[in-house]
Amino acid sequence: MSARVAVLGAGSFGTCLAILCARGHDVTLWARDRTLAEAINQDRRNPRYLEGAEVPARVRATPDLEDALRDREIVICAVPSQGVRAVMAEAGEALAPGAIVVSTIKGIEPGTCFTMHQVLEDVLPPRHHGRIVCLSGPSFAREIAARKPTVVTIACREEQYAVVVRDTLSCPWFRCYSNTDVIGVELGGALKNVIALAVGISDGLGLGHNARAALMTRGLTEITRLGVRLGAEALTFLGLSGMGDLVLTCTGDLSRNRSVGLELGRGRRLDEILAGMSEVAEGVRTTDAACELAARTGVELPIAAMVREVLSGTLAPAAAVEKLMTRRLNSEAL
């Protein structure tokens, strides 16, 4: 059945989801920049992101948020984490009463330490709270746009709404599973970016595959430890939004977070690295928030703490690795 879908955010992931949805649905794509919206409508290409992917005629780009949201049944939020609060606060009154809101953002808000689901609950009218859905899992935008097989998780506390989104988005090259563990799915997606920074630093230093495997394994332990403390199910972190996304982001050449870590390990300054990027590496902002959240809940995250020191310039990458490796010895279960 055809649905009316809005995608908020014309970056690479928002654009690829608009392309995906257009195979059978009517889609509006909100772009903050009017020039970008006009270019997409005229040339059927996004000239800044996913330039090689054709944007179907069923996608109509617009710089007007209210226009993008009008009568939409499913609203997919794909803006960077730092823009979610402002964009969705503005969007709240324009949402159709029964709209399902889908968050695809993998981050934690600095200051509040809210996940994106919590940010949405904070800014949207209460009538929408039960219909907030989270999409996460191993999913590079470029591969989705190229119709390469991708599998993700769709989570909502009321699973019926996750099922609606699952059935709307799924197709022969994009398969969705439903889930009810929203906090687990969100934390897996957000915290794996921090571990990807650590892996990138290690790879940039030339520390080898043993170190990479150790960071990924112990990183998953950290993610699970914090998630369970916050009420998530441990098994969630062995699934697509946990291990699956962690493996992809730590090893894939398209990973922005791993790329930032690589450059840090090679000796470049963080401000210089970020200045040369056209899209956001969410792990840079998430690291501080994750460490703050861990401190509030009494959970130890040694890898995240090491990444935080490197990002802040407190420790050089090699010194941070040595500090991590010479911590007090402990049981693997801890």
Q: Which amino acid is at 173?
A: W
Handedness of CA 120, 47, 15, 223 (dihedral sign): negative
If phi > 0 it is left, if psi is from -120 to 50 it is alpha, else beta; for residue 208 that is left
80 DSSP 8-state letter: -
239 DSSP 8-state letter: S
323 noted as active-site residue: no
142 CA to centre of own chain? 15
Q: How far apart are the first and last CA of the chain?
A: 49
In whole angstroms, give the CA distance from residue 206 to residue 266. 9
Provide CB contacts within 8 A for 97, sequence distance 6+.
127
Provide CB contacts within 8 A for 11, sequence distance 6+.
49, 78, 79, 80, 279
Which among 106, 148, 192, 323 is annotated as catalytic?
A: 192
In whole angstroms, give the CA distance from residue 21 to residue 10. 14
Q: Which amino acid is at 160?
A: Q
Contact 53, 16 (CB under 8 A): yes
In whole angstroms, give the CA distance from residue 333 to residue 328. 14
6 CA to centre of own chain? 18
Residue 29 sits at φ, ψ, to 5 deg, of: -120, 115
Contact 252, 229 (CB under 8 A): no
Contact 329, 213 (CB under 8 A): no
Catalytic residue positions?
192
